[in-house]
Amino acid sequence: CRFHLWKLGATRTQVRSHIVWGDSLLGTLPGTMSKDLGAAAFVALMGDDKTVARAAWEAYREAPAGAQPDPDAWCAMLMWPRDKSAPPPPVRLARSGRGQESPETLALLETMVDQYRYVHWQRDFPEVFGDGFDVVLGNPPWERIEVQDKEWFARRAPHIKAAANAAARKRLVEGLAVSDPALHRAWLSDRRRSQAENHFMRVSGRFPLTGKGGINRYAPFTEACRQLIRPGGRVGYVVPSGLVHDENTRPFFRDLIRTGSLLNVHHFDNRKKLFPAVGGMITFCLVTMSNQGKARQKASFVCFAQTIEHLSDRQRRFELSAADLRLINPNTETLPIFRSRLDADITRQVYEHVPVLIRQGGENPWGLHLSMLFQMSNDSHLFRTADQLKGAVKIGLSMHLGQEIWVPLYEAKMLHQFDHRWASWQGDRALTGVRRDQGYEVCPRYWVPAAEMERRLARRWPHDWLLVWRDVCRSTDERTVIAAILPRVGVGHTAQLMFPQGPAPLLLANLNSLVLDYVARQKIGGIHLTYSYLQQLPILPPEAYPPELAAEITTRAVRLACTSDSVRGFGRSHGQFGCAGWNAEQRADDRAWLDATYFRLYGLDARQVEHVLSTFPIVRRKEEARLGEYRTRRLVLEYLRK
């Protein structure tokens, strides 16, 4: 239910007459119905028949167009059930507002209008259109339109939510058709409804900038509110921070910036529970925008505020133009999330001197290909636990069961920077003493067929090692960009693969450097280091390294990565033989030297380096607790003074 009060100082009767009960996203605006729909608007959804869907498209094409199409019929037509038991959709009413429809069609139309509560703004608010509203304020739902099985069954059938994986859940849901037909029908009905709503968002033309991908309701709500205001009007909305940095909302945010329509973004994290019912790690934004602006206008930003008072702190506030966003995020033009003006200045300086890893439609100096190997949900039918492989003989990393060979499936939580033996799948950290054993390897949760792993890798990569980065991360973690060398094994999608044509030790060292991590923290607002984030990180190209420096970086990076027998091949690939093992003191020295080197290569001065080092509080806290000092800071500064 959405309430729209357009007249200040109205009497109770006047206010009541301007309250509309309905779904603000399912309906029309002036001009919505004027464009001809394509075949994509009539595709078969869940439970639909393709032949019936094709017939609906042909009926729409043949129906004569008119000046006054019926808006309810037009919306219902897009969401109409296209199975053989349903009457034909009301295409004549939808096209021209005239024509005779069957009683069955009219009855279903009336049912759908009552069910979906379409809001047609020009009809429901005739006094406002066509100028539009002066001000629109709101806090829309923060929820995906698509029904999620784990959430839907959480209370209705907890045993389905608790299933081991997606494949197991699917089998249990299908079994409901026999064990609980009513629940199964309710599940199918809610899924069909969510698909119909999702379909409307994508094909109606109401949401050209946000009706894409996995739609969360807040995104089309925000676009709709921008459409509703008059020239010079304002929108003030409370939305998840994904609006300014997610892939799906990128076209909308880019349009706000390019047109100068974005005025302010006040970015909050919820650790002080401004929203008591929302998790403390959730971030959200107060967004102010108009529907027109100046192309060169700069917008004002405050990021990671925790109180209202933070918004007036001048050290937190910064401004960015469209040109700034094209420099820092050239592929997406999404918002970096600087905690201070100094962070904005340092990051802008870095990008003026260091290119992004991959520029879309342009440079890819590493000849890099990014890839996923196994998807943890969709590929779960391939996975086996150790219990399911009883009787298998372990040879090296592999399990041999008859003629079948199974290899470990590594997940992101099992690795860390320069360390493929960080923890077992249960999260148990490997101890330093254990890591000194070059034969020790962490325990995986699942095993996958070696033949399937090789089938997916064969054409992409000839080596017996893999370069991966952790997809799951946060800008508030101990480290954000985490890359490691793995043996040639299965890898779940929480860790992603990169196949470089240039020298991998240089890329590995750059990815794990403090300065690169610092820049990444200014850009990652969620919990995933996705392709779009990674591609826009400032990474030195191979030709930026003088030969002697490249050789030294390679030696140290290989020494850091080659800590067990399973990754000896990485050293052999780069002219180094043997395995360095695990030497904590040597590792601290190697990492400090690499960090100091990359600070120099990125052009930071002493004051800027001190600031960057101060932005890793967890690293500092752990080292002070374990070592009595912030050792990383001391060693890095010592190398910088040499």
Q: Span 576-580, mean pLDDT? A: 77
> Does the pLDDT of residue 5 top 80, yes or no?
no
The winner for highest mean pLDDT among 244-248, 362-366, 400-404, 590-594 is 590-594
Position 10, amino acid: A
pLDDT of residue 3: 43
Position 557, amino acid: A
List the beta bridge partners of residue 229.
133
First and final C-alpha spacing in the chain:
66
Q: Give yes or no for a contact between 334 and 299, defined as CB atoms under 8 angstroms apart.
A: no
> For residue 448, what is the enclosing H or E element?
strand 446-449
> Does the pLDDT of residue 6 top 50, yes or no?
no
> Does the pLDDT of residue 14 top 70, yes or no?
no
Q: What is the 3-state secondary structure (H, E, C) of 526-545?
A: CCECCHHHHHCCECCCHHHC
pLDDT tens, 203-239?
A: 999 999 999 888 999 999 999 999 999 888 999 999 9
Q: Tokens 């608010």 label which residue?
A: 125
> Does the pLDDT of residue 165 top 60, yes or no?
yes
Q: Give yes or no for a contact between 28 and 120, defined as CB atoms under 8 angstroms apart.
A: yes
Angle at 31 between CA 8 and CA 224, to 5 degrees: 50
428 DSSP assignment: P
pLDDT band per the 50, 70, 90 thresholds, residue 2: very low
> Does the pLDDT of residue 195 top 50, yes or no?
yes
444 DSSP assignment: P
Give percent above pLDDT 90 in the chain. Answer: 64
> Does the pLDDT of residue 15 top 80, yes or no?
no
pLDDT band per the 50, 70, 90 thresholds, residue 429: confident
Q: Which two tokens stand for residue 309?
A: 């008072």
pLDDT of residue 74: 96
Give the Cβ contact number of residue 534 at 10 Å: 23
List the beta bridge partners of residue 369.
499
Q: Dihedral (C-alpha) 398, 400, 406, 412: value to the nearest 10 degrees?
A: -30
* Mean pLDDT estimate for the chain: 90
Q: Are strands 398-401 and 404-410 parallel, antiparallel or unpaired?
A: antiparallel
Residue 130, preceding peptide bond in cis (omega within 30° of 0): yes
pLDDT tens, 275-321?
A: 888 887 788 999 999 887 655 578 889 988 888 899 888 888 888 88
Helix axes 181-203, 71-79, angle to 10 degrees: 120
Position 33, amino acid: M
Higher pLDDT, 427 or 83: 83
> Does the pLDDT of residue 495 top 80, yes or no?
yes
> Does the pLDDT of residue 76 top 80, yes or no?
yes
Q: Tokens 């990180």 label which residue?
A: 537
> Does the pLDDT of residue 4 top 50, yes or no?
no
Give the Cα separation of 90 and 107 in Å (integer): 11
Give the Cα separation of 443 and 399 in Å (integer): 12
Position 176, amino acid: L
pLDDT band per the 50, 70, 90 thresholds, residue 435: confident
Give the Cα separation of 244 and 285 in Å (integer): 9
The length of the chain in residues reads 642
pLDDT tens, 79-133?
A: 999 999 999 999 999 999 988 899 999 999 999 999 999 999 988 888 888 788 9
Instruction: Give 574's contacts (C-beta < 8 A, 6+ positions apart).
Output: 503, 504, 505, 554, 558
pLDDT band per the 50, 70, 90 thresholds, residue 30: confident
Give percent above pLDDT 70 in the chain. Answer: 97
The winner for highest mean pLDDT among 111-125, 167-181, 503-517 is 503-517
189 DSSP assignment: H
